[in-house]
C-alpha cells in the first residue's frame, strides 16, 4: 500500500520504533525491500537519491516503477526522494506523487539554507508532501554526515521553526558509505536533540553503526533510519559469489535473482530489529 511518509514516521514515533528507509538504485532493490517489509510485517520507506536520478538520467522511470511496486504491496510503503539539491527535481517528485523529499541545502550558509528549505517546504506542504532537511557543515566537508560533525540542539530547534520542515537529519556520529560498523553514536546528544526538536530525527549513514547501538539510538529518540550501503554490500557480495561460482552465466536474472532474495532477507531482518 503506497503510504504517506508522515504516517509511517508518526506511527514509529507513537510505538517507539525505528522506521527503516532503504535506497533504491534499480528495480530489483525496490522489489527486495518490499518483499522484506512484507516478510517482517513492517512498514518501509523506499528512497531514490538525486545521485541515482543522475545515474539513470531521469527521475520518472524508476520512481513510477517503485510507486507501482509500493501500491501492489501488502505492507505500508512510502516513496521518498533523498538528498535533492535541485528545487526543480523536488517539484518533479511532488508532481509524480512521491510521499516525501529530503532537500539538502547543507552546503549553503545558515541563512541561505533556511531560505531555500522554507521555499521548498511551502511547495511540498501545498501538495501534502513531507519534507526532511539538514543543517550545514559543522565539522567536516561531508555536511552533517562527517563523523566528527555534531548538530547543536539549540540551532536545530531554531532551524526547524524557521524552515517549517517535518523531519530533521542530524549529525550524531555517522558518515555515509561506511563498509565497517565502527561509527560511535553520541547517544546523549540524540536524547538532547529529541527533547529540543519537535519533529522526527533522521539518521543518515546507519550502515556504519553496530546494531545494538542502532536500537539504543531509537530508544534515545531517532526515528527514520537510512540504510543504503549495507544492503548494496549484501546485493553485490551475492552477485560476486554467484558469478565466481558460475562463470558462464550471462542472463542477469541468474545473479540478480539470488541477490534480490539475499537483500530481501536482510531487509526483513533489519525491519524486525527496528520494529520490535
Binding site for Zn ion (CB under 5 A): 204
For the bound state, the minimum distance from the C-beta of residue 50 to Zn ion, rounded and expressed in Å, comes to: 10
C-alpha cell at 17: 520504533
Which residues partner with 132 through β-bridges?
102, 167
Q: Are 274 and 20 in contact (CB under 8 A)?
A: yes
Which grid coordinates belong to 267?
A: 531487509
Catalytic-role residue among 10, 82, 166, 186: 82
Least distance in angstroms from the C-beta of 74 to Zn ion: 28
Nearer to Zn ion, 130 or 204 (CB): 204
Nearer to Zn ion among residue 75 and residue 172 (C-beta): 172
Q: In which element (H, E) is residue 243 found?
A: helix 229-245
Q: Which is nearer to Zn ion, 75 or 190 (CB)?
A: 190
Q: Which residue is nearest to Zn ion (CB)?
A: 204
Give every CB contact of residue 4 below 8 A, 6+ residues apart in sequence. 78, 99, 100, 128, 130
The DSSP symbol for 2 reads B
In three-state form (DSSP H/G/I as H, E/B as E, the rest C), the secondary structure along 136-164 is CCCCCCCHHHCCCCCCCHHHHHHHHHHHC
CB of 76 to Zn ion, least distance (A): 22
Looking at beta carbons only, is 49 or 73 nearer to Zn ion?
49
Contact 14, 8 (CB under 8 A): no
Q: Is 82 part of the annotated catalytic residue set?
A: yes
CA distances from 129 to 80, 96, 237 (A): 10, 11, 35
Rounded (to 5) percent helix, strand, coil in the chain = 55, 15, 30
Write down the least CB distance from residue 142 to Zn ion, Å: 9
Residue 92 or 132: the one with the smaller Cβ distance to Zn ion is 132
Active site residues: 82
Amino acid at each position: 500500500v503506497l503510504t504517506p511518509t508522515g504516517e509511517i514516521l508518526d506511527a514509529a514515533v507513537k510505538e517507539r520504533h525505528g522506521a527503516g528507509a532503504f535506497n533504491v538504485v534499480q528495480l530489483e532493490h525496490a522489489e527486495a525491500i518490499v518483499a522484506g517489509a512484507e516478510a517482517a510485517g513492517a512498514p518501509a520507506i523506499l528512497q531514490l537519491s538525486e545521485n541515482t536520478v543522475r545515474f539513470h538520467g531521469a527521475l520518472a522511470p524508476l520512481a513510477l516503477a517503485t510507486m507501482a511496486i509500493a501500491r501492489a504491496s501488502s505492507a505500508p510503503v512510502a516513496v521518498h526522494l533523498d538528498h535533492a539539491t535541485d528545487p526543480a527535481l523536488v517539484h518533479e517528485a511532488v508532481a509524480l506523487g512521491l510521499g516525501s523529499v529530503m532537500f539538502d541545502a547543507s552546503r549553503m550558509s545558515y541563512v541561505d539554507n533556511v531560505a531555500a528549505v522554507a521555499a521548498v517546504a511551502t511547495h511540498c506542504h501545498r501538495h501534502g508532501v513531507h519534507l526532511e532537511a539538514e543543517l550545514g557543515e559543522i565539522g567536516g566537508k561531508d555536511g552533517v554526515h562527517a563523523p566528527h560533525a555534531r548538530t547543536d540542539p539549540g540551532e536545530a530547534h531554531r532551524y526547524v521553526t524557521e524552515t517549517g520542515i517535518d523531519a530533521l537529519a542530524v549529525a550524531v556520529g555517522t558518515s555515509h558509505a561506511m563498509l565497517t560498523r565502527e561509527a560511535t553514536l553520541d547517544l546523549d546528544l540524540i536524547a538532547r536533540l529529541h527533547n529540543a526538536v519537535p519533529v522526527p530525527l533522521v539518521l543518515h549513514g546507519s550502515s556504519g553503526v553496530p546494531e545494538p547501538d542502532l536500537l539504543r539510538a531509537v530508544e534515545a529518540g531517532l526515528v527514520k533510519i537510512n540504510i543504503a550501503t549495507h544492503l548494496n554490500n549484501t546485493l553485490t557480495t551475492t552477485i560476486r559469489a554467484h558469478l565466481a561460482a558460475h562463470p558462464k552465466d550471462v542472463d542477469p536474472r541468474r545473479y540478480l535473482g539470488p541477490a534480490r532474495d539475499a537483500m530481501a532477507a536482510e531487509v526483513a531482518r533489519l525491519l524486525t530489529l527496528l520494529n520490535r
